[in-house]
């Protein structure tokens, strides 16, 4: 297939957490920050060229999409092709649909730009459930994770439109703390190794790498999702404000994804529904200069199982962040007790000193 190319000067972010993904408050997370930053500070600027890979891309007029033997893309479930979009699900209850690439992707560095639209008749938080973009070992498998199978192997980026955890807490007459409450829709990413389950009740919190809120429903302008995987670094950005500007969502170094996986897009509805549309999926091959040492390391270390470096530190940082409100309360409480204790000790010492001073004058 002929490939269209475009080149520009690319500057790698010097800090892995330049983008404001989440406030890191713990020492463990600070250690993770220092460790990853030490690698990134050593990176120089790199000349990067991008080539549109048409065989891995989906765009209008969608010729042959879904038909056997005449397209690189396969439709599943309730998905259907129109002249304007690939509709993964209509705004109807209990539907799920998907579009999957038939070709495995063997690119080392790549960038996926997703043009999508989510819209429907439901009011806020009375719609669902969302869509997902996949790069996984398995393909064309129906399941509960936004229309794909659970315990998947690879990368999933989710546009979650329904707050399951919030509704679950409301049913138990509990509430979020101000520091842990999320605004939906919410974009998050997860890397699975075939044995990690997506937690619906907590909206994927236990296994997420990071995320951001994204008000993408019922907008009149175009909405885009940007997924870049380069030099084992995963970056997700969004363009949802109609300003043609990317907004940072998450940026995680040390993400290891094998080659030869499949791209796909899925969506699902339940008791609540929405139209989930894909207008285009455009994949670009990235050519980034590497040092000889980096090339040798990558040749010696073949990635066979998806993973994320220092994932334990990242998870611990997220857990401690979730409890930071309680931690602040106890910190203030015990600080006040300490101050009162010091004041009492000071008064006792002063009273003894005053008494002994008076005795010297008699």
SS3 90: coil
Considering 32-46, 166-180, 338-352, the range whose residues carry the highest mean pLDDT is 338-352
Q: Would you state the pLDDT for residue 301?
A: 83
**What is the distance between the alpha carbons of residues 255 and 54, in angstroms, rounded to a whole number?**
25
Q: Would you state the pLDDT for residue 63?
A: 85
Q: Would you state the pLDDT for residue 180?
A: 62
Tell me which fold the domain 4-322 belongs to: Jelly Rolls (2.60.120)
SS3 44: coil
User: What sign for the dihedral angle of Cα 147, 149, 151, 153?
Assistant: negative
Is residue 265 scored above 80 in pLDDT?
yes
Q: What is the pTM of this model?
A: 0.76
**Of 214, 219, 296, which is closest to residue 248 (Cα–Cα)?**
214
162-218 pLDDT, tens per residue? 998 887 676 655 665 555 678 999 999 999 999 999 999 999 999 999 999 999 999
Poorest-pLDDT segment among 56-60, 121-125, 243-247, 278-282:
121-125
SS3 352: helix
2-30 pLDDT, tens per residue? 455 554 433 444 333 334 334 444 444 44
**What is the distance between the alpha carbons of residues 362 and 357, in angstroms, rounded to a whole number?**
10
Q: Would you state the pLDDT for residue 340?
A: 86
Q: Which residue has the tokens 């043609």?
A: 244
**Of 211, 264, 220, which is closest to residue 238 (Cα–Cα)?**
211
Cβ of 109: how many Cβ atoms within 10 Å?
18
C-alpha 189 chain-centroid distance: 3
Tell me the sheet residues that pair with 286: 50
Indicate the pairing of strand 275-288 with strand 110-119: antiparallel
Structure confidence at residue 47 as a pLDDT band (50, 70, 90): low
The number of C-alpha atoms within 13 Å of 241 and in the hemisphere containing its C-beta is 9
Poorest-pLDDT segment among 25-34, 225-234, 263-272, 299-308:
25-34
**What is the distance between the alpha carbons of residues 223 and 187, in angstroms, rounded to a whole number?**
13
Q: Would you state the pLDDT for residue 24?
A: 41
Q: Which residue has the tokens 């909405």?
A: 223
304-318 pLDDT, tens per residue? 999 999 887 666 655
Q: Would you state the pLDDT for residue 342?
A: 83
**What is the distance between the alpha carbons of residues 83 and 231, in angstroms, rounded to a whole number?**
37
Is residue 55 scored above 60 in pLDDT?
yes
Q: Would you state the pLDDT for residue 115?
A: 98
More confident residue, 162 or 44: 162
Q: What are phi and psi of 84, to 5 degrees?
A: -105, -20
The number of C-alpha atoms within 13 Å of 356 and in the hemisphere containing its C-beta is 6
94 — alpha (psi -120 to 50), left (phi > 0) or beta?
left
**Of 219, 233, 260, 271, which is closest to residue 91 (Cα–Cα)?**
271
Mean pLDDT of the chain: 82
Domain ranges across the chain: 4-322, 329-362
Mean pLDDT of 66-82: 87
Contact predicate 79/256, CB 8 Å: no
Q: Would you state the pLDDT for residue 21?
A: 39
Q: Would you state the pLDDT for residue 200?
A: 92
């Amino acid at each position: 297939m002929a490939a269209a190319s475009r080149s520009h000067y690319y500057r790698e972010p010097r800090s892995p957490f330049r983008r404001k993904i989440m406030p890191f408050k713990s020492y463990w997370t600070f250690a993770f920050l220092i460790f990853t930053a030490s690698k990134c500070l050593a990176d120089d600027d790199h000349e990067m060229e991008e080539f549109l890979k048409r065989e891995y891309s989906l765009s209008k007029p969608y010729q042959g999409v879904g038909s056997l033997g005449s397209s690189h893309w396969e439709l599943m479930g309730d998905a259907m092709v129109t002249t304007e979009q690939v509709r993964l699900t209509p705004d109807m209850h209990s539907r799920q649909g998907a579009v999957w690439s038939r070709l495995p992707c063997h690119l080392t560095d790549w960038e996926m730009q997703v043009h999508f639209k989510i819209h429907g008749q439901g009011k806020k938080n009375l719609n669902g459930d969302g869509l997902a973009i996949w790069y996984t070992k398995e393909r064309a498998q129906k399941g509960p994770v936004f229309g794909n199978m659970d315990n998947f192997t690879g990368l999933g980026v989710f546009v979650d439109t329904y707050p399951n955890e919030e509704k679950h807490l409301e049913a138990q007459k509990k509430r979020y703390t101000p520091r842990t409450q999320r605004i939906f829709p919410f974009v998050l990413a997860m890397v699975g190794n075939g044995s990690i389950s997506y937690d619906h009740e907590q909206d994927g919190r236990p296994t997420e790498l990071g995320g951001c809120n994204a008000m993408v429903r019922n907008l009149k302008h175009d909405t885009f999702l940007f997924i870049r995987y380069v030099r084992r670094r995963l970056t997700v950005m969004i363009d949802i404000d109609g300003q043609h500007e990317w907004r940072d969502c998450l940026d995680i170094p040390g993400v290891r994804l094998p080659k030869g996986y499949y791209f796909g897009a899925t969506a699902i509805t339940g008791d609540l529904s929405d139209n989930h549309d894909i207008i285009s999926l455009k994949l670009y091959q990235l050519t980034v200069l590497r040092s000889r040492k980096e090339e040798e390391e990558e040749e010696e270390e073949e990635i066979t199982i998806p993973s994320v470096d220092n994932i334990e530190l990242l998870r611990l940082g997220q857990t401690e962040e979730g409890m930071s409100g309680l931690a602040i309360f106890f910190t203030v409480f015990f600080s006040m007790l300490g101050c009162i204790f010091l004041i009492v000790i000071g008064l006792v010492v002063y009273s003894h000193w005053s008494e002994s001073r008076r005795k010297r004058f008699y």
